[in-house]
Amino acid sequence: MEAAISDSEFGRFQALMQRVAGIHLPPSKKSLVSGRLSKRLRARGIGSYGDYYRLIASGGEPAEMQTAIDLLTTNETYFFREPQHFEFLVREVLPGLRPGVPFRVWSAASSTGEEAYSIAMVLMDKLGVSAPWEVFGSDINSSVIETARGATYPTSRNEGIPANYLRRFCLRGTGAMAGKLRVDAAVRERVRFAQINLNGDLKGAGEFDVIFLRNVMIYFDMETKRRVVAALHRRLRPGGWLFIGHSESLNGVSEQFRPVRPTIYRKEAA
């Protein structure tokens, strides 16, 4: 049986997550770190958290490092979370699009994909299948990206989906798939997922008209918030929109964006 995690061992994992992912683990997360990593210690036959830290920090086992990151990141999401953002997208953003011009939206902390598919359902409804639009979803956690690509969820998670969208864009499972729903292929085909660390190089993501960065900055310290928001500003096209979580703000974080509504910001047009 592995020993309990010490304060110094916890401090090493704090520093590791800050350095690798920009995520701050406060002292209150010590038991969470201990509980989530204990299964890896048992699986690897390692007797202490210090030895496990040395294993992943050595750089010799990148897959185990990713497993640790997956275990220590929080993933809470659901369909059409904070619905006022989707209403604003329909009412204020989409009417300004130019016909035939590609439109890209980034769900920048998409977790298991519900946010990205919510956006795609809106765009399929309002822009249609013939318009050139795409939704890109990303997360640092590799396991949730695989779930997102599968686009299959328990029916208990469908509460936020409008009834007409549920009917048009979701398939109810039968037989072995009973109790599950899957996002329709026409919607799935317009959504692409990739593993991306927001604390790293974002150039490969391309440029976007709208970025959803919701409920992730609460895990960053101020320096990381400023760095990430500045990088996302560069990924937005002139006149692009940034949506953040209802408990978040850009006050003191960035002056590059113009506030439009609480939690909704816009990059100035060129």
The residues annotated as belonging to the active site are 36, 139
Q: Tokens for 47?
A: 């007797």
Please give the Cα distance from 45 to 50 (Å, whole number). Answer: 13
- Ordered DSSP codes for 43-102: HHT---HHHHHHHHHTSS-HHHHHHHHHHHS-----TT-SHHHHHHIIIIIGGGPPTTS-
